[in-house]
Every structure is written in C-alpha cells, then in structure tokens.
Amino acid sequence: MPSVLLVCTANICRSPMAEVILRARLKEAGLESAQPVQSAGARAHPRGGETMDARAAAALQRHDYRPEKKWRSRRVQLEDFERFDLILAMEAQNLDDLRKLCPAPPLQGKLRLLLDFAPGLEGQDVPDPYFGPTQGFDHVLGLIERGVAGLVAASRAGTPLDLR
C-alpha cells in the first residue's frame, strides 16, 4: 500500500474520518505496512492542534470505528508532496488548493479525489457536513467508505493507483 495523505478543508471532520476508516480497512485486509496514512487540511489553522469534530467522532463510533483520542489537526505542508505517494482530496476545492500549494508540477500526479476510487462516483465530492445536521456525518461516512473500499481493492489487486 502506498503512503496516503487524506485532505479536507480544516482537517476536523472528513479527512480524519477517512484516516480512521482507511487504517481500519487496511488492517482488515492485512495490508498494514510501515507506510504512513495521515490526514491534513488544505486550510487548517497554521498551528493545527484542533480535536476531531465531536459529530464526526460520534459517527465513526456509531459505525464501529475507533478514532484516536489524542488525534490533532494539522495543515498540509510542502514536504507532504514529497513524503506521500498519494494525496486524496475530499472535494474539488481541496484539490484546487492542493494544486496551488504543490511545489513542482511532476508531483501533481499524486493528487486525486478520494471518490475517484469509488465506482460510479468518480469526480464527485465528499460534501462538507460541518454546517449541516448530524445525519450528514453518517452520509459522508458512507461515501468515504466507498472511496476507501475502492482504494484498498485497487491496492490489493496491484492496480496502478495513478488514474491519469
């Protein structure tokens, strides 16, 4: 499995949910490795340090995932573009932000939308549930699960993860 960075806007709901889900699915698939799986925010507070949104953590727990209590948000750093093999954005705006931050055009080949790995959802956004009702977090969790399932399946099959 390649190293993966999952990115949303503030790194307090969608991307940390995706990090927890991807780690769990990799463990279930026997694909745990020394390669890092992390999350970050394209527009997170520069110093980071925020905890996961309580509604995101509750949605994970309702679906039998175990978010880490010590988890803290962080902003995407320039070195992330070199460090990670694959950088998956939750929505088109995050992908645009990443393209602007990316220090070298060849590294932009690592940038994708998470749902590009979900058959039938390619090119679609994982919507931001932050300003909506609590049920939005469960909907988002389901979309993330579909993207993660496709990513894990592609990795297990040895499918090249470069979608371009």
Question: pLDDT value at position 160?
Answer: 58
Summary mean pLDDT of the chain: 92
State how far Cα 131 lies from the chain centre: 19
Residue type, 146: R
pLDDT tens digits in sequence order for the chain, 164 residues long: 789 999 999 999 999 999 999 999 999 988 876 679 999 999 988 887 899 999 999 999 999 999 988 889 999 999 999 999 999 999 999 999 999 999 888 899 999 999 999 999 999 999 999 999 999 999 999 999 999 999 999 888 766 565 44
- Please give the pLDDT value at position 71: 87
**Helices within 7-102 (DSSP H only):** 14-28, 54-62, 80-83, 92-101
Burial class (CB in 10 A: 0-12, 13-18, 19+), 148: buried
CA dist 21 → 38, 63, 67, 83, 119 (Å)? 11, 10, 9, 21, 18
Write down how long the chain is: 164
Catalytic sites, residue numbers = 8, 14, 128
CB of 136 within 8 A of CB of 6?
no
Give 41-74 pLDDT, tens digit per residue.
999 888 878 999 999 999 999 999 999 888 899 9
Output the pTM of the full model: 0.94
pLDDT score recorded for residue 42: 96
Q: What is the reported pLDDT for 164? A: 41
> Could you give the 3-state DSSP secondary structure of residue 81?
helix
Q: Computed from CA positions of residues 134, 129, 137, 40, in that sequence, does the dihedral angle turn out positive or negative?
A: negative
Domains observed in the chain: 4-157 (3.40.50.2300)
